[in-house]
Amino acid sequence: MIRKKRFITTIILVHLVLIGCVLKVTAQNKLIERKQFFNSDWKFSLGDATENSQSNLDDSNWRKLNVPHDWSIEGKSEKDNPSGGDGGFYPMGKGWYRKTFKVPSEWNGYKVSIYFEGVYMNSEVFVNGQSVGVQPYGYTSFEYDLSPYLKYGEQNTIAVKVDNSQQKNCRWYSGSGIYRNVWLMVKNLVHVKTWGVAVTTLEIENNKAKVEVKTVVKNQTAFPQNVILSTAVKNVIGKKPPFSESKLALEPDEEKEITQIFTVENPKLWSIETPNLYEVKSVIKTATRILDVSKTDFGIRTINFSAVNGFLLNGKSIKLNGGCVHHDNGALGATAYDRAEERKVELLKTAGFNAVRTSHNPPSEAFLNACDRLGLLVIDESFDGWREQKNKYDYASIFDKWWKHDVESMVLRDRNHPSIIIWSIGNEIIERTKPEAFETAKMLANAIRNIDPTRPVTSAMTTWNQGWDIFDPLMAEHDVAGYNYQLHHAESDHERVPSRIIIQTESYPKDAFANWNLVQKHNYILGDFVWTAMDYLGESGIGRYIYPGEQEGEHWTANLYPWHGAYCGDVDLTGWRKPISHYRSMLYNENEKIYLAVREPNPDRGAIKLTSWAVWPTWESWTWPNQEGKNIEVEVYSKYPKVRLYLNGKNLGEKETGIAQEFKATFTIPYEKGELKAVGLLIGKETESVVLKTSGESAKIKLTADRKTIKADDQDLVYVTVEITDNKGILNPNAQNQLSFKISGGTIAGVDSADLKDADLHIANSRKAWHGRALIIIKSNKEGVINLEVTSQGLIKSSIKIQSVLKK
């Protein structure tokens, strides 16, 4: 009898311990916040020392900062840096980050982990001196369990080693450091697994959407657990959301995937024009307590691809006007502030793009979130190469060991983004002509399909004079064939392989019309992605035009320093849209119908020459000193049948601008100061017009902020455009004044002018204007007023105020 009582008592005690372990809450009986912002109060030291991992290290002399952070952009671009032209000649090297934080006693019994959205590269994370994991690939998000190493109720130390010293490892500017957000995850031992929710729109019929939600629930206790998964699909405030509950019996250290089907009445579909978003709220609970709450955004939409109908979004045919982008943010380097990533998407949308390819790596979560919110379609790409290297230390060196982890991480992390329509498994693979490439492509594609069978798989292929039809077996391993610069083969390829779905994954900017024309003609061609949508750091000199006396050749043929970036983008590093951007947008969109620009005349000493990715330097300018009376070429892009050109009120004639003229007219006229005006003609009548005016001498500074109010969180940004004008406010497109910046209430995060031959520091209090413009990026740091004053010798100074508030 005594033994039986003891046995019962033991069971009760074990049960009570179990309840305490699983149901633990704060003193206020509230759930601990599952995902906590962990960007603040880090310390940084450039260089390497083994003792940097130890918790008792004296780091009082280390630099204090908040992440995200890129140490490379803080350094000087110099001709002999090992990163070379690929890396923009920026310094790389090794660095360490440390953060000390107190872990509350009540977290004991929870699963505490740290989640890094991206660290470039070869990172190793230490907790209280213990190594918890390594992540070589700098574009993969990753999470480590800290629980076994933490001291509860005491101070704890995280140390992160970052090694970007092996150069070259990337063909573009990578940046160095903890360049994306960091989060502390605090989860009950019974919880929804990280990346454990998958949402799929199964069908949309009769104004009803059938939505499937798969949820992985994990039991990390040592005992069986009986819990309830309660799931709701939310969109409209005030309306009762579709709701489902499932009972789960979980064995110790077991995880289960639960499938629930929801019917959403009158669904608000996600589209490019109306990017409506829903939320899945997943709650793990018992009869009396909530254990875990997880939220997942998604969009209700359908995608279909075929050689007959092309790409259909919600049943509607969409032609993809796409652009490739790298991950850097210009003057910020690789630093992925949420606002910087959002602005990038805003610029792409404003430039008329409806799709983007994240060449050649998974982007930040903030970028994809912005694509979801703003309505931009995405090709999400895994890496640049497979087993054969392009650079000595690139992904080929770790492919066999890490490809599965990195590909699966990309798909699991990103699969709920409605903006993503295609997965890409590589770019211009070196071994593409070899039989083993077919097996590698099949292996990668199947790994993606095992997780997400709802989207097609592609990779970007090219020939570089190796033949083209020899790639048929490799293309057959993809759902969509990605063509880099090879769309001229599409029609003959279609005759040979009628079922092939084609997308041009890279193209030369100069071929905009030819590619648009093929896309319009054939449904089996989904669209065209230009290289590139935006200028970027690294791959120095691609897209350049060559003045007489400058070194000739493509960007890979020589060290072209001080060139430290790429000028092949439609949008430059200040956010200014080049004329090619207006032309491309006009081809695909109806909101822009007429545009006026002037081709830069050849210098007296010789002719300008173009490289492969270049277009002729063309400017929104009618200010051409020393050109009076000389012939100059004026370009008008127009969707009107004809355009008429005026100079100082005089009619200089009209020209057709139909499809036969590729929607362009070129007028060669003697230059004369004044006003140049182009007018669209419709049935002989003048419609809208565009004007360029000659600027006088530089006199004023004009400041324009992209937002008047930002959040006071040491993360939010405001972009201030600087323009140098004459007394009448007309931009002087030739101004190159040295500008000085004085700021209070905020911090200068970066400065730029879009001149990729100006290698001055991006984090500075001055910048030389280029073509009359410059850009200042200001980061908030406290509540109050941010005041910026810009001065330049001989110009009237200008100032601007921005409000920085705690909540926005």
3-state secondary structure 58-114: CCCCCEEECCCCCCHHHCCCCCCCCCCCCCCCCCCEEEEEEEEEECCHHHECEEEEE
* Helix (H) and strand (E) counts in the chain: 9, 49
Phi-psi region of 238 (alpha: psi -120 to 50; beta: other; left: phi over 0): left
CA distance 374 to 368: 10
CA distance 359 to 734: 33
Which residues have C-beta within 8 Å of that of residue 791, sequence separation ≥ 6?
701, 739, 740, 742, 797
- Written as one string, the DSSP assignment of 220-266 is -SSS-EEEEEEEEEE-STTSPPPEEEEEEEE-TTEEEEEEEEEEEES
Examine the residue annotation and report whether 428 is marked as an active-site residue of this protein: yes
Contact 334/179 with Cβ under 8 angstroms? Answer: yes
Q: Say which amino acid occupies 97.
A: Y
Question: Token pair of 83, please?
Answer: 């990163």
Burial bucket for residue 485 (CB in 10 Å: 0-12, 13-18, 19+): buried
Alpha carbon 366 to its chain centroid, in Å, reads 8
Candidates 124, 365, 428, 477; catalytic one: 428
- For the chain, give the number of residues: 808
Residue 639 neighbours by CB distance under 10 Å: 18
CB crowding 456-484: b at 16 or more within 10 Å, else e = bbbbbbbbeeeebeebeebbebbebbbbb
CA distance 251 to 219: 7
Contact 485/462 with Cβ under 8 angstroms? Answer: yes
Contact 733/696 with Cβ under 8 angstroms? Answer: no
CA distance 406 to 142: 9
Residue 22 neighbours by CB distance under 10 Å: 22
Candidates 342, 506, 635, 723; catalytic one: 506
Which residues are known catalytic residues? Answer: 428, 506
